[in-house]
Amino acid sequence: MLWIALRPHAPPDASSRAHEPPPTPPEQQALAWWGLLFSPRVCVLEEAVLLEAGASLRLFGGQRVLLQRLRDELPLAGGTGLAVAPTALAALALLRTLPAWDESTPVPAVSCTTLRLSVTLDVLPLTLLSAARAHEDVLARLGCRTLGDVRALPRGGLSRRFGAALLEALDRAYGSRPEAFEWIELPETFSARLEFMGRIEVAEGMLFGARRLLQQLASWLLARQRGVLAITLHWEHDLVRRGELSHGQLPVRTAEATRDITHLARLLGEHLARLTLPAPVLAIRLDATETEALETASASLLPEEVREGESLQQLIERLSVRLGADRVLRGQLLADHRPQHMQVWAPAGEGVVSAKAPVLPKHLQLHPPWILRQPLRLTVQGERPLYQGPLLMLAGPERLESGWWSLLSSAEAEGEELAQRDYFVARSPQAGLLWVYRRRSAGEPAWFLQGMYG
C-alpha cells in the first residue's frame, strides 16, 4: 500500500463562502480528478485528496519516478503539498505537518516507510489526527501531547472514556486495522466552473482560466476513456449589469475526437482573440457538450521514427478559425463535361468527403492545370484574339454544349441562351499555351480565356 496525500490550494476567500460551503470545494475536486491520472483509487478525505498508488507503481516506472513526477506536476494541478505513507491517515497526518508552500521553492513533500511508521507517528502532535483533535483538551490534561502518548494509554479505558472512534482511528493510522474509503467517481458529463480572483476585462484573459479547466477536462477524458468533439466556454459577467446583459458563450468544435488540450487551448485562443467583452467577466464554466469513446494506440516496444508537429486535421481547424472556413478549401471532382462544373470546392474543415471520385475520361489529361475563376474576355484584333500578343491556334475546336438542365443557374446562361462553346488550344508569345473558347451563343461571337497550360 502506498498512500499519497495531496493538499489542494486554499479556496480564494473561504470566509465569504462559509454560509453555504459546497460539498467538495472545486479546488479539491480538480485535484482529485487529476489524481485519477495516476490511480483509479482516489478519495477525498477532510481537506485533502488521497490516492492509493500501490498498484500503479510499475506502470509509471517505480515509486521514485512516480513521486518525482507527482511533485513536478503538482503546482500545475493546483496542489501545494505531498505526503507519502503506508496508511491513509498517516499520510494525512504527515501532510498536516508540511509548511505552507511559497512559490519559489519546490512543493514541500514528506514521506515515511512502513518500517518507520510507528516511530514517526509516535512523535507527531495528537492534533494532527482528526479523531484525537476532538478530545484535545481532555487528552492534554491527561498529559498526552503526541500520538505515542495516546497510544500508550490502556486501550480499554481509552475506549470507555473517548468512544470507539478514537481507538479505531489510531489503529487505522498505525496500520493494525483495515481502512475503507469511498473512491470518487466521475460524473457522466463534464462541466467545471472557475471563479476568477479579479475581474477579467479582455477576452484573451479568460484563456488562462480556461487552460486550468481544460486540464481538468483532460483528466476526465482520460479516466473515462473518451475524446471530446465539442466544448462550450460560458462566461458570467459582472453582477452590476446582470439585468442588461446575457452571459456569453463560445462553442468550439473539432472534426475528430481529441484529448489534446494544447490543441483545444489554441482553438479557444484563436476564437477569444477576435472577441470583445461587453463587461468584465467574473467566472467561467467549461462544458464538454459532445464526447465519444476514443481508442488510443498502444505504445510500441521498438523506437519509432517520431514525426514532430501537428496533424493535418488540426492544421485545417486552426487555419479555418483564423482565416475563415470558406478560405481553407478542398476540391472534389464531379462527373461533368463542362469545364466550369468539373470541380467543386468545399471548406476542408467539414470532415472528409466520402463520395467516390468519378472515373475520369482519358482526354482530361489534355486539359490545362490552371483555370480562371471567371473566363476572361479577350480583345480581338481583326479575327485573332489577343492575350499578351496575338494568339496562334494550335488545335481545336472541341465543342462543348452546356446542360439545359441547369439553365437556371447563372453560370450556364450566357445572355438568354445556353452556353455553346468551341474550345481551342492556342499559343501566346508571352504566356505559353492557353485554353481559350469562342462563344457561339448570345449575340456576337467572342473569345474568352478559360485556362492556362504555362
Residues making contact with other proteins (CB under 8 A):
307-312, 314-316, 318-319, 322-323, 327-333, 339, 342-343, 345, 348, 352-353, 357, 360, 362-373, 383-384, 392-399, 401, 422-425, 427, 429-433, 438, 440, 451-454
User: Cα(first)–Cα(last) distance of the chain, in Å?
Assistant: 74
User: Taking the complex as a whole, how short is the minimal distance between the CB of residue 397 and other proteins, in angstroms?
Assistant: 6
In what helix (H) or strand (E) does residue 411 lie, and over which residues does it extend? none
Residue with cell 504555362: 454
DSSP β-ladder status, 79-85 and 109-111: parallel
Q: What are the beta bridge partners of residue 5?
A: 50, 83
Closer residue to other proteins (CB): 196 or 437: 437
Residues 6+ apart with CB under 8 A from 137: none
CB of 333 to other proteins, least distance (A): 5
When computed from its CA atoms, the radius of gyration of the chain, rounded to whole angstroms, is 35
Write down the least CB distance from residue 395 to other proteins, Å: 6
Q: How many angstroms separate the CA atoms of 306 and 444, rounded?
A: 63
Question: Closer to other proteins at the Cβ: 116 or 322?
Answer: 322
* 84/321 with CB nearer other proteins: 321
| Planar angle of CA 260, 263, 268, nearest 5 degrees | 125
Task: Select 64 or 327, whichever has its Cβ closest to other proteins.
Answer: 327
Q: Is the CB of 75 or the CB of 347 nearer to other proteins?
A: 347
Quote the least distance from Cβ 431 to other proteins, whole Å.
6
Q: How many residues does the chain have?
A: 454
Rounded to whole angstroms, how far apart are CA atoms 368 and 394?
Answer: 14
Question: Of 256, 259, 249, which is closest to residue 217 (Cα–Cα)?
Answer: 259
Residue 294 CB, shortest distance to other proteins, in Å, is 20
Q: How far is the CB of 217 from other proteins (least distance, A)?
A: 24
State the minimum distance, in angstroms, from the CB of residue 230 to other proteins.
23
CB 88 within 8 A of CB 77: no
For residue 397, is the peptide bond before it cis, meaning its omega torsion is within 30 degrees of 0?
yes
Residue 180 vs 306, nearer CB to other proteins: 306
Question: Closest distance between other proteins and the C-beta of residue 103, in Å?
Answer: 33
Pick 134 or 371: Cβ nearer other proteins: 371
- Residue 114 and residue 86 in contact, taking contact as beta carbons nearer than 8 Å: yes
Three-state SS at 398: strand
Task: State which residue, 83 or 418, has the beta carbon closest to other proteins.
Answer: 418
